[in-house]
């Protein structure tokens, strides 16, 4: 048994491998981590082509449900492109299978098959009625044993790579914010220094003005004393001249 899921992008219907999307809606509400596809066509559904090898046994599985049940028309797992395609009749032992117990709750359904020649399959489910069918969690694996769903290893690698890329984006943003904070810190420190320097400058100017004021007061006193002396000298000179 090989537990690797052969199909790609089965958790969220990602990658360009998925076809027959014309009558398919991806629902906004996931189910147990899966994105759910609502199929509105009775004869085909969302699918992914895969080339199988003669003599190798495969098991295809998926989760499905129908809100409105129609007992007269059973949904069907099929490996053909649609319900009109019978080209796999001579190539695969069991290429379609009715689902007799579909319910309004998700259940897992499977089909095991062995090709007699190399061929291409398109595993999916069709509703066979006008009632929509909801599907998710596709898995194609080698062997007869049905194993729990798991992503394709390539999907895991892509997820890790995308997660790492996203981490790098977040890390770059964090570094940018850190640098911005550092620059803001430098700016704040610069402003603080300038304010301090300005305050010191104002203090020095104040001291200078204070000193200048003292000098002016002293000069005024000197001038007054000089004026008094000149007045006294003038009066003395005048008295001598008159006398």
pLDDT digits (tens, 9 = 90+) for 27-49: 999 999 999 999 999 999 999 99
Indicate whether 234 belongs to any domain.
no
Percent of the chain past pLDDT 70, that is, above it, reads: 74
Q: What are phi and psi of 4, to 5 degrees?
A: -70, 130
Q: Which of the pair, 234 or 137, is modelled with greater confidence?
A: 137
Indicate whether 13 belongs to any domain.
no
Mean predicted confidence (pLDDT) in 117-142: 96
Domain shared by 122 and 190, yes or no: no
Range of the domain at 172: 152-209
How much is the pLDDT for 71? 74
Beta bridge partners of 110: 61
Domain shared by 36 and 136, yes or no: yes
Number of structural domains (the chain) is: 2
How much is the pLDDT for 162? 45
Domain shared by 142 and 162, yes or no: no
Alpha-helix runs per DSSP H in the chain: 153-242
Separation CA 162–CA 28 (nearest Å): 22
Where among 101, 124, 150 does a domain terminate? 150
Indicate whether 43 belongs to any domain.
yes
Indicate whether 133 belongs to any domain.
yes
Indicate whether 6 belongs to any domain.
no
- Cβ neighbourhood burial of 34 (10 Å; 0-12, 13-18, 19+): buried
* Entry pTM: 0.65
Residues with Cβ within 8 Å of 38's Cβ and at least 6 positions away in sequence, in order, are: 24, 25, 26, 27, 132, 133, 134
**Tokens 């203090």, residue?**
203
Mean pLDDT of the chain, nearest integer: 83
DSSP 92: B
Indicate whether 238 belongs to any domain.
no
How much is the pLDDT for 80? 96
Domain shared by 143 and 102, yes or no: yes
């Amino acid at each position: 048994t090989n537990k690797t899921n052969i199909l790609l992008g089965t958790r969220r219907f990602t990658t360009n491998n998925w076809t027959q999307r014309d009558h398919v809606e991806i629902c906004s509400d996931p189910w147990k981590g899966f994105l759910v596809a609502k199929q509105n066509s009775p004869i085909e559904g969302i699918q992914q082509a895969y080339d199988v090898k003669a003599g190798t046994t495969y098991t295809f599985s998926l989760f499905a449900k129908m809100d409105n049940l129609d007992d007269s028309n059973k949904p069907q797992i099929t490996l053909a492109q649609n319900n009109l395609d019978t080209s796999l009749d001579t190539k695969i032992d069991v290429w379609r299978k009715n689902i007799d117990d579909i319910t309004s709750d998700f259940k897992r359904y499977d089909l095991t098959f062995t090709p007699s020649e190399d061929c291409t399959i398109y595993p999916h489910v069709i509703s066979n009625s006008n009632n929509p069918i909801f599907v998710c969690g596709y898995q194609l694996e080698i062997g007869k044993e049905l194993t729990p769903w798991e992503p394709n290893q390539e999907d895991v690698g892509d997820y890790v790579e995308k997660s790492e890329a996203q981490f790098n984006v977040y890390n770059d943003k964090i570094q940018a914010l850190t640098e911005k904070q550092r620059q803001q810190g430098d700016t704040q420190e610069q402003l603080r220094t300038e304010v301090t320097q300005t305050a010191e400058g104002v203090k020095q100017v104040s001291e200078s003005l204070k000193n200048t004021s003292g000098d002016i007061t002293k000069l005024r006193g000197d001038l007054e004393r000089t004026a008094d002396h000149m007045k006294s000298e003038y009066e003395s000179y005048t008295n001598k001249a008159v006398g």
